[in-house]
Amino acid sequence: MALSWGRSTRWEILRRVSRGRDCIESHLPDHVTLRDVGRAAAMSDFHFHRSFVEVFGKTLHEYTTRRRLALARDLLASTDLTIGDVSFAAGFGTPTSFSATSRRHEAPNPTAFRQTRRRSRAAGQDRHAA
C-alpha cells in the first residue's frame, strides 16, 4: 500500500475504504453509486475513489464488475436459476449485459460456463461411483 500520509491517517483511510468496500459487497446486486459508497465511508466521492484505487489497485467500477462476475459464476455453478435470473441476481441489468461483460473480461459466456461446470461435476460423480 503506497499511501503517503502519516501512520494513523493511513489506518483511518484504510478503515474507511474497507467500510466502503463492505457497502459494495452488501449491495452488489443493486445499483450503488460512488456517492453512496463515499457516504458509507464518510469520505467525499473524489477522496474515496482515489483512496480505493490506491488501496485495491482498481477502480470502483472494475472492482464491482469483477465481484458481480464472480457472484454470477457461483450462482451458475451452484443453482438451476435461469441465466436471466442469474444476471439480475448478480446486478447486471440484462442477460445481454451479463454476456457482454463476461466476453469483455475473457470469461466464457454464461451458457458455456454452466455446461462446462455440469460436465465436470458429472465426471466427478462418475469417478466417485466407480
One-character DSSP codes across 65-112: HHHHHHHHHHHHHH----HHHHHHHTT-SSHHHHHHHHHHTTPPPHHH
Clarify whether residues 86 and 120 are in a common domain.
yes
Evaluate whether residue 45 is within a structural domain.
yes
Clarify whether residues 71 and 37 are in a common domain.
no
Do the beta carbons of residue 91 and residue 68 sit within 8 Å?
yes
Domain housing 13: 7-57
pLDDT of residue 24: 95
Structural domains counted in the chain: 2
Q: What is the reported pTM?
A: 0.81
Which contiguous run of DSSP H or E holds residue 127? helix 110-129
Evaluate whether residue 21 is within a structural domain.
yes
Clarify whether residues 79 and 115 are in a common domain.
yes
Clarify whether residues 113 and 71 are in a common domain.
yes
Clarify whether residues 70 and 102 are in a common domain.
yes
Kindly state the cell numbers that stand for 18: 474497507
| Each residue's pLDDT tens digit, 41-76 | 999 999 999 999 999 999 999 999 999 999 999 999
pLDDT of residue 128: 54
pLDDT of residue 112: 82
Clarify whether residues 74 and 39 are in a common domain.
no
Residue 87: how many other CB atoms lie within 10 Å: 26
pLDDT of residue 125: 63
Do the beta carbons of residue 42 and residue 18 sit within 8 Å?
no
Residues of the chain with pLDDT under 70: 1-7, 125-130
Nearest to 37 by CA among 64, 58, 55, 10: 64
Evaluate whether residue 2 is within a structural domain.
no
